[in-house]
Structure 1
Amino acid sequence: MTSVPEPPPERPPHDLGLGRVLSEQSGERFLNKDGSFNVQRHGMGWQSVSLYGSLLTTSWSAFFLTMGGLYLALNALFGLIYFALGPGALSDEPGGGMPRFLACFFFSVQTFGTIGYGHVYPLSVRANVVVTFEAFVSLLGVALATGVLFARFSRPQSRVLFSRNAVVAPYQGGQAVMFRLINGRRSQLMNARVEAVHTQFETLPDGRRVRRFAPLTLERSQVTLFPLAWTVVHPVTPHSPYWQVTLEQLAEADAEIMVIFNATDEAVQQTIHARSSYKPHELRWNERFSDLYRRTPRGELYVDAERLHDTEAVRSEV
């Protein structure tokens, strides 16, 4: 009796970890143009809130507004405490009302910043206790603010610029899907790698629509040095999801190309990441990218980053 060979194990999906339910039921693009995910989580509660993480990832304007607001709030709080201690708590302060509160507030600012002009000082034991506690809080606050500020400066920030559109252009007697990217910082990137995954819906014989993921074979997926620009090429072969397919078919299947980039920043010796994606309406058929390279009057070659998104029409060779 001959044994029936077991079927080969099913290959894991190339869904970049998005999961089956999200992959099959999401009606939006998975990756935004800026690399952020269209995935939301609810019901996490306050456990998911991280002030440190938020201060690291927020914009610089929001960071300084937050730190400035906390600074003013703390001084206003201690100013209210000094105000509540009564007129005899501090020397050389107005009689009452808003002028006395402002005097208490600015005394808190001077104490918090260890300025100490000298003409206002605590008179009572209770006021000296509050000053002691505020000095301790200011010591911790300055240390924490300095640490977060240093962490923001030292955190590797990628500025990899992706072309706004991808093109389907003639390539070696056939066609290829191409997009390009530029290193947007003066520091050099090394050991750069790029991964592109195509996803679209397919209709099964029973009528169900399921989303499939397929890694795109790239002409070159890694470069040792990435100082200037890189045009990423996916040759369209019979094994490619773009073989003999039209733009309308891609739009109907809700296709998307997800791009993941990572490299090592030579200046800080840390890994940086960047992401982007392309939907069917961002594909330019039978167009090619315009030349990025220019020469100075002295003949030196340079890359014109302003032409990153420029394309021009070409005749199809197939």
Structure 2
Amino acid sequence: MAATESDRVAKARRVRLGNRVVVTEGLELSFWADVSHRCLTASWPSFIGGAALVFIIFNAFFALLYWLGDQPIANVPGGQYIDYLYFSIETLSTAGYGDMHPQTHYGHFIAAVELFTGIFSMSLMTGLIFARFSRPRARLLFADNPVISNHEGQQTLMIRLANERHNIIANATARLWLFKNGVSKEGMAYRRFYDLPLVQRESPALALSWTLFHVIGEDSPLHGLSAADLEAINAGLGVVVSGYDDLAAQTVHARRSYEHSDIRIGHRYAEILRTTDDGLIRIDYSRFHDTIEA
């Protein structure tokens, strides 16, 4: 039976792809189907909050099992649930202070199961935290707006970026794409992307700033397009930069996407580099995103 409109709306999910929000329908993916990916992509507050919630649930469950038994734990005054909860925390975390300990076969069995759960969960948590910290990431700052103006006597699309860490990213490479809507001969709408050639795709050592240049010649997909034309085709830009981080000894990647409304035609970037009287290079990052009319 075909799903009704209300069913599809109920199963719709919002996902963010770069700066674009997409609503997906008809794809049922349970939380546990890809829990490792969710743990790696969640924000740190969400990750820590989720881990704390799981810790509380586990301890509450095992404390309930102890509480249901016939005095399974020694030195529990009055057999109150809160005391079993404290013992569960000691056992699950493998702390074992020693004042409370199992004294029946039932208590030993539940404690053994909880110890295994604690060892397993701590190993899993250690791996997830290590994976989150060890993921190679480039701290690249991209200008808020691509600009189009004359450069070296030719109309050029320019995008400025900078290395926020000020370390060396060796053999940095950049690629730039144009995304736009199109209609096939059969009348089907589709989204196409075009690789925009750059004047210089590689940088031997990206440490400070780097401006990407795409000459808008007759063979460029952007040739002759105005701001209204870019809006009509719902144009967008995608930038991907990768390189070898000498400090982390890993290959790092960074990307940024732009909408057609972000592109400023007839503008150029404000100057941020200058040389001081003592020969030092000074970069003013407070003007990094500023553009001025060409």
**TM band (smaller chain):** 0.7 to 0.9
Query: Relative to structure 1, is the Cα distance of residues 224 and 171 closer, same or farther in structure 2, using a 3 angstrom cutoff?
Result: same
Q: Decide whether the 8 Å contact of 1:31 with 1:258 is kept in 2.
A: no
Q: Is the contact between residue 190 and residue 264 of structure 1 (CA under 8 Å) also seen in structure 2? A: yes
Give the distance between the partners of 1:208 and 1:101, measured in 2 at CA.
65
Equivalence for 1:170: 150
1:138 aligns with 2:118: yes
Tell me the secondary structure at the aligned position of residue 112 of structure 2. helix
Which residue is 2:61 aligned to?
77
**Conserved? CA contact 1:31–1:275, under 8 Å:** no
Aligned pairs for 1:18-29 within 5 A: none
Cα pair 1:260 1:275 within 8 Å, conserved: yes
Q: Show the counterpart of 1:9.
A: none
Answering whether residue 77 of structure 2 is matched by residue 94 of structure 1, we say yes
User: SS of the residue aligned with 1:52?
Assistant: helix
CA separation of 1:48 and 1:148: change in aligned 2, threshold 3 A: closer
Q: Deviations over 1:184-225 (max 9, x none)?
A: 234421221111122334567887766543321211111121
Matched, 1:107 2:107: no
Separation in structure 1 between the aligned mates of residue 144 and residue 126 of structure 2, nearest angstrom: 37
Among residues 257, 272, 280, which one is paired with 2:237 in the alignment? 257
SS in 2 for 1:111: helix
Secondary structure of 1:195's match? strand
Q: Distance in 2 between matches of 1:205 and 1:123?
A: 79
Letter in 1 for 2:76: E
Moved more, 72-81 or 204-213: 204-213
Deviation at 1:138, TM superposition (A): 1.4
| Greater strand proportion | 2
Instruction: Decide whether the 8 Å contact of 2:274 with 2:282 is kept in 1.
Output: yes
TM-score normalised by structure 1 residue count: 0.78
Alignment correspondent of 2:281: 301
Give how far 1:227 is off: 0.8
* AA at the equivalent of 2:18: N
In the TM superposition, what are the counterparts of 1:1-318 in structure 2 within 5 Å?
A: 32-33=18-19, 38=22, 40=24, 42-46=26-30, 49-86=33-70, 88-95=71-78, 100-202=80-182, 211-293=191-273, 300-314=280-294
- C-alpha displacement at 1:276, in angstroms? 1.9
Q: 2:5 corresponds to which residue? A: none
Structure 1 SS opposite 2:78: coil
Q: Name the % identity.
A: 29
Change (3 A) 1:278 1:117: closer
| Paired amino acid for 2:285 | A
CA distance in 2, matches of 1:95, 1:282: 68
Distance 1:63 1:32, change over 3 A: same
CA offsets 1:244-284 (integer angstroms, 9 cap, x no match): 32111111121222222222222233222222222221111
Q: Would the alpha carbon gap of residues 279 and 266 (structure 1) be closer, same or farther in structure 2, given more than 3 Å must change?
A: same
- Report deviation, 1:105: 0.3
Residue 95 of structure 1 deviates from its aligned partner by 2.4
**How far did residue 108 of structure 1 move?**
0.9
In structure 2, stretches of 5+ residues that fail to align are: 1-15
Q: How big is the shift at 1:40?
A: 4.2
- Tell me, in whole angstroms, the C-alpha distance in 1 between the residues paired with 2:292 and 2:237: 21
8 A Cα contact 1:182 1:305, kept in partner: no
Q: Distance in 1 between matches of 2:249 and 2:21?
A: 26
Task: Output one character per residue of 1:31-63: Cα deviation in whole Å (capped at 9) or x when no partner.
Answer: 524xx7848474354498222222122211111
Q: Tell me, what secondary structure is at the counterpart of 2:47?
A: helix
Cα distance change on mapping 1:115 and 1:253 into 2, 3 Å: closer
- Which amino acid in the other structure matches residue 142 of structure 1? M
Report the residue type matching 2:93 in the other structure: G
> Which whole-Å CA distance do the structure 1 matches of 2:181 and 2:258 have between them?
15
Alpha-carbon distance between aligned partners in 2 of 1:93 and 1:204, rounded to the nearest angstrom: 76
Secondary structure of the residue aligned to 1:180 is: strand
Q: Which runs of 5+ in 1 are unaligned?
A: 1-29
Amino acid in structure 2 at the alignment position of 1:185: R
Structure 1: which amino acid aligns with 2:75? D
Between Structure 1 and Structure 2, how many residues are aligned? Answer: 279
Measured on the aligned residues, the alpha-carbon RMSD in Å equals: 2.7
- SS state of the match for residue 50, structure 1? helix
